[in-house]
């Protein structure tokens, strides 16, 4: 049985739910984020608040939650031109991918996460990638994850498990999963502290959390929330 995990934790709804899953399942859990000069560092601030709130409100998880790591990945901004790293408007590209797609981003994240996990003696790498997401990023697909798990395990001569709790569920089910893992307190924490909005909006507070309410990330979060809430009512 695996006992230790490293969670790719950005401070958004998905990775916070993944962190709760890991804290439920493993005895020692560490977190990692990547600073690639996202247009909005509000994400990186949100994650520290989420960690603090988790420690305060969930004593049973607090003792399992270990070191937090933030790796500098400014180089990613040098090789990519996307609406996440440059002052560009969000749009769909001719290849059907949104211009928020940073080629190879998740491959790089997982490689660095595995190197860190190797050094820290962590067995499982948990990531919130999802095939049911609207975006269809090829580096979030299950096949890619399986290939990465094999490549990293062979390349470091150590068996890594890449775990993807959200791979086959939609945003409404992600809210339900949070509810199952940590009840209303965790749902409230995610609403209040996690950040999803592409525009970095922390001024407008909605029932589902902060955000501009109009960018694709906000739309997705809103729709998932509505489905989750109507499922609760019925």
- Alpha-carbon distance of 211 to 20, in angstroms, equals 23
Residue 181 binds Zn ion, judged by CB under 5 A: no
Closest CA to 202 of 77, 41, 51: 41
Query: What character string, x for contact with Zn ion (CB under 5 A) and - otherwise, covers 194-213?
Result: ---x-x-----------xx-
Query: What character string, x for contact with Zn ion (CB under 5 A) and - otherwise, covers 42-81?
Result: ----------------------------------------
- Alpha-carbon distance of 21 to 33, in angstroms, equals 17
Residue 166 binds Zn ion, judged by CB under 5 A: no
Report, in Å, the least distance between residue 139 CB and Zn ion.
Answer: 23
Cβ atoms of 199 and 212 closer than 8 Å: yes
Q: Which is nearer to Zn ion, 177 or 218 (CB)?
A: 218
3-state secondary structure of 54: helix
Q: Which is nearer to Zn ion, 108 or 217 (CB)?
A: 217
Report, in Å, the least distance between residue 43 CB and Zn ion.
Answer: 12
Cβ atoms of 92 and 86 closer than 8 Å: no
Q: Cβ atoms within 10 A of the Cβ of 133, count?
A: 16
Q: Which is nearer to Zn ion, 174 or 196 (CB)?
A: 196
Q: Which is nearer to Zn ion, 26 or 208 (CB)?
A: 208
Q: Which is nearer to Zn ion, 103 or 213 (CB)?
A: 213
Q: Applying CB under 5 A, which of residues 126, 130, 218, 222 lies at the interface with Zn ion? A: 218
Report, in Å, the least distance between residue 197 CB and Zn ion.
Answer: 3
Non-local CB neighbours of 110 within 8 Å, separated by 6+ positions: 8, 125, 127, 148, 152, 162
Q: Applying CB under 5 A, which of residues 16, 215, 221, 228 lies at the interface with Zn ion? A: 215
Report how far apart, in Å, the C-alpha atoms of 29 and of each of 72, 86, 144, 201, 228 are.
21, 33, 24, 30, 28
Binding residues vs Zn ion (CB under 5 A): 197, 199, 211-212, 215, 218
């Amino acid at each position: 049985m695996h006992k230790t995990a490293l969670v790719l934790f950005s401070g958004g709804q998905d990775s916070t739910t993944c962190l709760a899953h890991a804290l439920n399942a493993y005895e020692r859990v560490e977190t990692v984020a990547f600073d690639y000069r996202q247009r909005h560092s509000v994400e990186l601030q949100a994650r520290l608040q989420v960690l603090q709130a988790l420690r305060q409100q969930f004593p049973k998880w607090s003792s399992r939650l270990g070191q937090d790591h933030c790796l500098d990945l400014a180089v990613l901004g040098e090789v990519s031109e996307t609406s996440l790293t440059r002052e560009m408007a969000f749009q769909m590209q001719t290849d059907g991918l949104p211009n928020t797609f940073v080629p190879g981003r998740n491959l790089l994240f997982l490689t660095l996460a595995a190197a860190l996990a190797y050094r820290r003696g962590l067995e499982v790498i948990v990531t919130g990638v999802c095939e049911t997401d609207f975006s269809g990023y090829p580096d979030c697909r299950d096949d890619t994850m399986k290939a990465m798990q094999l490549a990293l395990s062979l390349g470091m001569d150590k068996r890594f498990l890449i775990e993807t709790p959200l791979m086959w569920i939609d945003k409404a089910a992600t809210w339900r999963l949070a509810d199952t893992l940590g009840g209303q307190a965790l749902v409230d924490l995610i609403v209040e502290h996690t950040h999803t909005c592409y525009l970095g909006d922390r001024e407008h507070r909605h029932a589902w959390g902060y955000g501009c309410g109009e960018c694709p990330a906000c739309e997705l979060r809103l729709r998932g929330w509505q489905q989750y809430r109507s499922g609760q009512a019925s």
